[in-house]
Structures are given as C-alpha cells and as structure tokens.
Structure 1
Amino acid sequence: MQPKELIQKWVTLFNEGKAPELAELYHEDAVNHQVANTPVKGKSAIREMFKNEFSQADMHCIVENIFEDGNWAILEWKDPMGLRGCGFFQVIDNKIKFQRGYWDKLSFLRQHNLPIPNN
C-alpha cells in the first residue's frame, strides 16, 4: 500500500472514531507527535490517545490535500468548525512509523468547550 492510500484509510478510520483499528495502522514502536502535545510512543499508547480524544470531542477530518513523496505522506485537513492543520506521516513497510501534526490547540479546545490548561 502506498503512503497516500494508507493515509486515506487513516482518515476513514479517524472519521469513524475507530481507535483500535486506527492504531493497527502504526508500527509497534511508532511515534505520534502532535506538536501541541507531548509525543506519544508505541502502538498501545497511540490507541489510548485516540480513544481518549474520541471520547472528549466529536472530531472529523476533511481532506484538503494528500501528497506523497517517497515513504512520506502529507495531509492538509480542515474540520467542520474551520480549524485547519497539516500532518506528516512516515510510512515504512505499509505502517506508520512516525507522525507529526500541526494545528491550533487553543482554537480546538475553545471550539469543543474543553478546559484550557493554565500553564
């Protein structure tokens, strides 16, 4: 599976809120680093991260663009509330090895009426 195809599958599972199936797209030792948060290391921790996030907010990823360059896929996205972001996925042996995402955490928290950290 090419990186672009894998990320299309990732978006489908993300939009369905399927944390266990989403986590299966990652290597056992994968890293998911949403730059507004501490990096999450390992498939089981990534599964728990998605499970927790899906329980806190109704999230939906609308694809604006998916680009592919070698073993990397780049996802430009928006959500129904207008938040935009970009994710970079390194795909090795048909699984995500590394992911980095950029988005405005403060806007996200406000849009979903979630608590804003004091630090």
Structure 2
Amino acid sequence: MEPKEVVQAWVEAFNKADVDQIVSFYSDDAINHQVANDKVVGKEAIRARFEEEFTSAEMVCIVEHIFQDGDWAILEWRDPLGLRGCGFFQVQYGKIVFQRGYWDKLSFLKQHGLPIPQE
C-alpha cells in the first residue's frame, strides 16, 4: 500500500478504536512521537499507548486532508469537539516506521474533562 492508503486505513481503525488493527500498520521497531507526549518505540509500546488513550477518552479523527510525498503521508485532521492537529507518517514497505503528531494537549484534556498535570 502507498503511504496515503496506509494512513486512510489507519484512520478507519482509529475511529473504531481497534487497537489490534491500528498496531498492525506499524513496523516492529516503529517510533510514535506525539509531541505533547513522550515518544514510544516498538509495536508493544505503541499498543500500550493506544490502549491507555482509548480507555481515557473517546477519540475521533475527521480527515481534512491527506497528502503524500515519497514515503511520507501527512494527515490534517479535526475532531468533533473542534480540536485540530496534523500527523506525519513515514511508511516503508507498507508499514509505519515513524509517526509524529502535533496537537494541543491542554485543549484535549479540558475537552474530555481529564486532569491537567501540575508541574
């Protein structure tokens, strides 16, 4: 699959909160770095992060645009509560090897009534 197709399928699995399907899109040593959080490395760490996130909040990704440039797909998204963000996915041999996401964590926590960490 082309990177854009991988991300389209990833979004479908994400919107079903299907962690097994989501994780199947990653290479064994993939890196997922949502800049608002610590990066996670490897399928099992990525699985654990998604399990934790889907347990704490109902998340929906509404695609605004998906662009492809070589082995990269760029996802511009919003959710039903008005949060917006973007994600960059490097895909090699049909698997995500690197993902980076940009979104406002404080807005996300407030919208979902989750605790705000005190530093």
TM-score between the two structures when normalised by the length of structure 2: 0.99
Does residue 44 in structure 1 map to residue 59 in structure 2? no
Identity %: 63
How many residue pairs align between the two structures? 119
- Secondary structure at the aligned position of 1:101 is classed as strand
Q: 1:19-34 to 2 correspondence within 5 Å?
A: 19-34=19-34
Q: Give the deviation of 1:21 after TM superposition.
A: 1.2
Q: Give the deviation of 1:82 after TM superposition.
A: 0.3
| Stretches of 4+ aligned residues off by more than 6 angstroms | none
TM-score between the two structures when normalised by the length of structure 1: 0.99
Counterpart contact for 1:67–1:75, Cα < 8 Å: yes
Query: Which residue identity is paired with 2:70?
Result: G
- Give the gaps of 5 or more residues in structure 1: none
- State the Cα RMSD in Å: 0.4
- Give the gaps of 5 or more residues in structure 2: none
Deviation digits for residues 13-62 of structure 1 (CA, Å, limit 9, x no counterpart): 00000111101100000000000000010001101110110010000000
